[in-house]
Amino acid sequence: MDLILPDFGLLVWTGLVFSLLLFLLAKFAWKPILNAVNTREEKIAEALELAEKTKAEMQALKAENDQILKEARAERDLILKEAKEAATGMVEDAKGKAKDEAAKIVESARQTINSEKAAAMAELKNHVASLSLEIAEKVVRQELSSDDKQKALATQLAGEIKMN
Amino acid sequence: MQQAGKFSSLLQIIVFALSFFVYQPFAKASEEENFNVGEMIMHHIKDAHEWHIAGPEHGGISVYLPVILHDNGFKFFSSKHFYHGQKMEVAINDSTSYHFMAGVGPAEGYALYHEEIYKLDAHGSLHFVGEHPHNSTPTDLSITKNVASLLFGSLLILIIMLSVARFYRKNGAVAPKGLAKFLEPIIVMVRDDIAKANIDKHKYHKYVPYLLTIFFFIWINNMLGLIPIIPGGANLTGNITITLFLAFCTLLVTVFSGNKNYWGHIFWMPGIPVPMKIFMIPIELIGILTKPFALMIRLFANITAGHIIVLALISIIFINKNIAWAGLSVPMALFISVLEILVAFLQGFLFAMLSALFIGAAVEEAHH
């Protein structure tokens, strides 16, 4: 029967020892242990969060880099295109100019030729005129060398005038 | 082959030593009367004023614990003055007589009967009515076997936990090593699976130290109880006084943590008709007490039963008075002892778990 009856002395000792144990453990054991465990758990959680954040940041950075690269590439293409266009333009220009110049040169050559030709023609004309005069003089002189001949001519000329 | 030989000879030595240690206490008893298993077991699972190690019941190798009595002032003396006192006999009739030990020296005037201290009457004897003496008793505050075990167990817990705490204090919040590595998962288990799982997550912090203390107190003392020799072997957590006290602590924590919602559910149960509400009040009030009462009985019965089974299995040898029975009883006792290691943990876990559950119910906010 006394197996299931509480004993006063043991109850007093239990109360005393257990209360003291609870107090000492709570103050000197559980508090530092739980604090350390909590701190570590927080640290780990923070580290994990940071890793996650860094990962996201890295991803954003990579995306940004890709974007920049893409843009750079596009710009390069644009510049190349422009350069090509400019080069083509320049060549075309040069060609045009050359053509114009050539045309000009040809034109001026033609003009020169024409003017030279005109000058030559004029000279030729003059020459021919003077030659004709000389020939005419000679002919005239010969024609007028005898009286007969002078008479014939005068007749001829008179005839000619008559015809008019 | 040689190894097997070595092993069997080792076994022989163990069995021989065991028989020497265990058999001796009852050698004398069996000569006088038949070996009484029930008496032996009851003697082992109950408290005592000595810590018996080996040899016959009186006069064997024993640690005599201090007796502290409050009887018109405090009296301190060793229990040796009882165990080595004067053997007295009170004959009621021809067939029944009671034996008790009258104290000598500083224990003069007191008697020890079934580990209970009585004051001797004017005739220097005990006055028996039925099976129990009707003499007055002094207030017994002795360091009994259970008190000594309690002190040792508590000191052990304190040393272990303070050394773990020292590790964290010295190293800060780092990965645990050594003892801390072993105990941290258990501490975290009590915090997360017992406290956090059952108590509101904003309020559980306050109860973690209590739950941790109660869990380790029960677990470590259960384990100490499984050690067959001093400083273990006391049936501390299988003592109704200890379980009563622990259950009472949980009751106090629950009652003083109870919020409006908790008391509202007890005195004016919502959601049922008024006559039922009135009817429920006494039931709920009894419920406050039955919960810790169940805690008390569960721990007491489990641990005491474990001790009884191991002792009963060992007793098979002495009932049959043949060492060959050890071949059956020792493996069976070993099996039960291993099972008891599991039970030791489980009972500590259950006690803390149910305490957390009751506290959790007491601090729970109303669901709206």
Place of tokens 């008496």: B39
Which burial class, exposed, middle or buried, applies to A61 when counting CB atoms under 10 A from its CB (0-12, 13-18, 19+)? exposed
Residue type, A110: R
Dist. CA B320–CA A83, nearest whole Å: 114
Domain assignment present for residue B188? The answer is: yes
Dist. CA A100–CA A104, nearest whole Å: 6
Q: Tell me if B66 sits within 8 A of B77, measured CB to CB.
A: yes
What's the pTM?
A: 0.76
Asked if residue B207 and residue B330 are part of one domain, the reply reads yes
Asked if residue B285 and residue B199 are part of one domain, the reply reads yes
Asked if residue B282 and residue B312 are part of one domain, the reply reads yes
Asked if residue B123 and residue B40 are part of one domain, the reply reads no
Nearest to B158 among A10, A21, A35 (CB): A21
Domain assignment present for residue B61? The answer is: no
Domain assignment present for residue B243? The answer is: yes
Domain assignment present for residue B298? The answer is: yes
With beta carbons under 8 A apart, name residues in chain B contacting A3: 42, 45-46, 240, 304
- Residue numbers of A between 27 and 66 with CB closer than 8 Å to B: 28-37, 39-40, 43
The number of helices, as runs of H, and strands, as runs of E, in chain B is: 11, 11
Q: Tell me if B81 sits within 8 A of B105, measured CB to CB.
A: yes
With beta carbons under 8 A apart, name residues in chain B contacting A10: 47, 144, 146-147, 150, 239, 241-242
With an 8 Å Cβ cutoff, are B161 and A30 in contact? Answer: yes
Interface residue A12 vs chain B (CB under 8 A):
yes
Interface residue A78 vs chain B (CB under 8 A):
no
Closest CA to B231 of B154, B168, B303, B153: B153
Asked if residue B37 and residue B180 are part of one domain, the reply reads no
With an 8 Å Cβ cutoff, are B217 and A21 in contact? Answer: yes
Dist. CA B298–CA B347, nearest whole Å: 8
Asked if residue B162 and residue B125 are part of one domain, the reply reads no
Give me B264's structure tokens: 């509202």
Asked if residue B306 and residue B168 are part of one domain, the reply reads yes
Residues in chain A: 164
Asked if residue B321 and residue B267 are part of one domain, the reply reads yes
With an 8 Å Cβ cutoff, are B46 and A18 in contact? Answer: no
Domain assignment present for residue B348? The answer is: yes
Chain A residue with the nearest C-alpha to that of B154: A21
Dist. CA A22–CA A19, nearest whole Å: 5
CA distance B165 to chain A (A): 5
Chain A residue with the nearest C-alpha to that of B67: A9
**Domain count for chain B:** 3
Query: From the candidates A4, A7, A35, which should be mutated to test the interface with B, based on the most B CB atoms within 10 A?
Result: A7
Domain assignment present for residue B152? The answer is: yes
**pLDDT value of residue B12:** 55
Chain B residue with the nearest C-alpha to that of A5: B240
With an 8 Å Cβ cutoff, are B161 and A2 in contact? Answer: no
Give me B72's structure tokens: 């018109």
* Residue that finishes a domain, picked among B86, B111, B142: B142
Interface residue A23 vs chain B (CB under 8 A):
no
With an 8 Å Cβ cutoff, are B241 and A25 in contact? Answer: no
CA distance A16 to chain B (A): 10
**pLDDT value of residue A4:** 85
* Residue that finishes a domain, picked among B142, B164, B192: B142
State how far the alpha carbon of A109 is from the alpha carbons of A101, A106, A123, in Å.
12, 5, 20
Longest Cα–Cα distance of chain B, Å, equals: 82
Nearest to B42 among A3, A35, A40 (CB): A3
Dist. CA A13–CA B154, nearest whole Å: 12
Q: Which residues pair with B139 in a beta bridge?
A: B70
CA distance B155 to chain A (A): 8
Dist. CA A10–CA B146, nearest whole Å: 7
Chain B residue with the nearest C-alpha to that of A42: B173
With an 8 Å Cβ cutoff, are A22 and B143 in contact? Answer: no
With beta carbons under 8 A apart, name residues in chain B contacting A26: 209-210, 213
**pLDDT value of residue B8:** 56
What count of other Cβ atoms lies within 10 Å of the Cβ of residue B71?
Answer: 15
Chain A residue with the nearest C-alpha to that of B44: A3
Q: Domain containing B21: what range?
A: 2-45
**pLDDT value of residue B11:** 53
Chain A residue with the nearest C-alpha to that of B296: A4
Query: From the candidates B149, B150, B167, B237, which should be mutated to test the interface with A, based on the most A CB atoms within 10 A?
Result: B150
Interface residue A155 vs chain B (CB under 8 A):
no
With an 8 Å Cβ cutoff, are B164 and A17 in contact? Answer: no
Dist. CA B7–CA B133, nearest whole Å: 52
With beta carbons under 8 A apart, name residues in chain A contacting B165: 28-29, 32-33
Place of tokens 């400083």: B231
With beta carbons under 8 A apart, name residues in chain B contacting A35: 168
With an 8 Å Cβ cutoff, are B209 and A25 in contact? Answer: yes
Q: Tell me if B265 sits within 8 A of B280, measured CB to CB.
A: no
What count of other Cβ atoms lies within 10 Å of the Cβ of residue B357?
Answer: 16
Domain assignment present for residue B51? The answer is: no
Q: Tell me if B154 sits within 8 A of A21, measured CB to CB.
A: yes
Give mean pLDDT in consecutive 10-residue pieces for chain B, a chain of 368 residues.
52 50 44 71 88 78 90 88 87 83 88 88 83 87 93 95 92 85 94 93 92 96 90 90 95 92 87 88 92 95 94 90 90 94 96 95 81
What ipTM does this complex have? 0.86
Nearest to B147 among A5, A13, A37 (CB): A13
Give me A23's structure tokens: 């107090």
Q: What one-character-per-residue DSSP string does B175-233 give? A: ---HHHHHHHHHHHHIIIIIIIHHS-TTTGGGGHHHHHHHHHHHHHHHHHHHSSSTTS-
Asked if residue B188 and residue B327 are part of one domain, the reply reads yes
Asked if residue B154 and residue B127 are part of one domain, the reply reads no
With beta carbons under 8 A apart, name residues in chain B contacting A13: 141, 143, 147, 150-151
Asked if residue B187 and residue B160 are part of one domain, the reply reads yes
Low-confidence residues of chain A, pLDDT below 50? none
Asked if residue B118 and residue B13 are part of one domain, the reply reads no
**pLDDT value of residue B368:** 55
